[in-house]
Amino acid sequence: MSVAPARPTLDPAELHRVLSENGIEFYAGVPDSLLKDFIAYLSEHTPLERHVIAANEGGAIALAAGYHLATGRIAAVYLQNSGLGNAINPLTSLVDPEVYGIPVLLIVGWRGMPGVADEPQHRKQGRVTTGQLDVLGFPYVELTPDVTDLHDAVSGLLARMNAGRTPGVLLVAPGTFSRYRPSVSPAPRFGMRREDALRIVLDRLGPRDVVVCTTGMASREVFEARERAGQAHDQDFLTVGSMGHCSQIALGLALAQPDRRTICLDGDGSVIMHMGALAIIGARGPANLHHVVINNGVHDSVGAQPTVGLSIDLPAIAAACGYRATRRVGSIAEVASALGELGGQNGPTLLEIRVDPGAREDLGRPTLTPAENKERLMEFLRRR
């Protein structure tokens, strides 16, 4: 391992310039909050055909491999360190030097970095990240807020990658990038916030219903909605990590307790990340599963980078996968009626609620630990 020597916060434009000078022109990835300023700069200074926000990290690795096959050049893939799990298969069975030997530059946000406070779902991943890279055998450079000789650090890493025909990693510590403000922010289109939609859904739950909520802002808003209403959290499973998997958690629960209505509160980025889950749900056809997708067209929890959520027809996709009933709404007035309509039908059903991006600045975080959340839910489920 080499450590890049140091300087006070890194301008995203400078990293982009150094990468360009070293021949990096194509980017793919899944957004991360530690990288949001770099991604924002990248999005405004890279042609659309050379920047792809991928469905998941493994897909981004494959995009980089295809680019290399066509050009012989190295592509960059950005991701959060939690996304290394999604990327392990193509990293070890596609681009690894023992297989095709395709160098890919990984720009990895180091959530849960030892010595830096972070959320529970990031702590273990942060602690084992460098060990994972050591096991994989990939060279890496730790990029910190006080890096001084960025050009030497990057060019040295790329030289090792080319020599070994191997992926390499820029491991980005918290607080490395200075703030970059995009020139254009996502514009409101629907006059409804995610938090408003979630509150309507929660208000219509029955006393035996159970909720599985996706990671990020949505789970935080569900927790706060319960707090404000003076309600217990026993009915809710808040998926604090594992992006893209909440619908399969909900499916497992629904299959195990077919007499209990299960509501999956999902997001567009989450659905897109593992869209095959829709096919599995449709094929199994649980009558008690109702899938609610809050679609704001962005990765809201990590910087509001765009998804393709507003460019695709999620209800039509779900229907083609075997969901029994689907609907899309885009206003507060429509939400309650759609919930009533779909809730009275056998599932699986899917309701897409299109909302504006953004969240309250004073939005808190759950005060229950993940383990406490799990135990309360399991106790609730035992009371059949």
Give the rounded percent of residues in the chain with a pLDDT score beyond 90: 83
Omega cis (within 30) before 348: yes
Is the pLDDT at 2 greater than 70? The verdict is: no
Is the pLDDT at 286 greater than 80? The verdict is: yes
Q: Are 145 and 173 in contact (CB under 8 A)?
A: yes
Q: Would you state the torsion angle of the CA atoms of residues 286, 261, 220, 198, taken in this order, to the nearest 10 degrees?
A: 100
**Measured in whole angstroms, how far is the alpha carbon of residue 340 from the centre of its chain?**
30
Helix (H, G, I), strand (E, B) or coil at 62: helix
User: Which tokens hold the place of 8?
Assistant: 């006070």
User: Domains of the chain by range and CATH?
Assistant: 2-172 (3.40.50.970), 194-382 (3.40.50.970)
pLDDT attached to residue 353: 97
Read off the pLDDT of residues 63-92 as tens digits, 9 standing for 90 and up.
999 999 999 999 999 999 999 999 999 999
Concatenate the DSSP letters of all residues of 288-314 into one string: TEEEEEEE-SEEGGGT-EE-SGGGS-H
Rounded CA separation 26/22 (Å): 12
Rounded CA separation 51/35 (Å): 15
pLDDT-based confidence at residue 184 (cuts at 50, 70, 90): confident
Rounded CA separation 309/213 (Å): 18
pLDDT-based confidence at residue 8 (cuts at 50, 70, 90): low
The least confident of 49-53, 212-216, 311-315, 362-366 is 362-366
Concatenate the DSSP letters of all residues of 323-360 into one string: -SEEEEE-SHHHHHHHHHHHHTS-S-EEEEEE-BS---
pLDDT attached to residue 199: 94
pLDDT attached to residue 241: 86
pLDDT-based confidence at residue 6 (cuts at 50, 70, 90): very low
Interstrand relation of 51-53 and 104-109 (parallel, antiparallel or unpaired)? unpaired
Nearest one of 248, 333, 332, 321 to 279, comparing CA atoms: 321
Is the pLDDT at 112 greater than 70? The verdict is: yes
Read off the pLDDT of residues 101-111 as tens digits, 9 standing for 90 and up.
999 999 999 99
Rounded CA separation 296/317 (Å): 17
Please tell me whether the overall predicted TM-score, pTM, comes out greater than 0.75 for this model: yes
Strand ranges (E), 48-167? 51-53, 75-80, 104-109, 140-143
Q: Are 200 and 176 in contact (CB under 8 A)?
A: no
pLDDT-based confidence at residue 134 (cuts at 50, 70, 90): very high
Read off the pLDDT of residues 216-253 as tens digits, 9 standing for 90 and up.
899 999 999 999 999 999 999 999 889 999 999 999 99
Interstrand relation of 305-306 and 298-299 (parallel, antiparallel or unpaired)? antiparallel
Those residues with Cβ within 8 angstroms of residue 158's Cβ, 6 or more apart along the chain or in another chain: 22, 23, 74, 103, 105, 168
DSSP alpha helix (H) spans, 94-149 = 120-136
pLDDT attached to residue 58: 97
Provide the mean pLDDT of the chain.
Answer: 93
Read off the pLDDT of residues 37-64 as tens digits, 9 standing for 90 and up.
999 999 999 999 999 999 999 999 999 9
User: Which tokens hold the place of 31?
Assistant: 């957004």
Rounded CA separation 322/316 (Å): 10
Q: What is the mean pLDDT of residues 291-314?
A: 92
Q: What is the mean pLDDT of residues 190-213?
A: 94
pLDDT attached to residue 3: 47
DSSP 8-state secondary structure symbol assigned to residue 142: E
Q: What is the mean pLDDT of residues 117-143?
A: 94
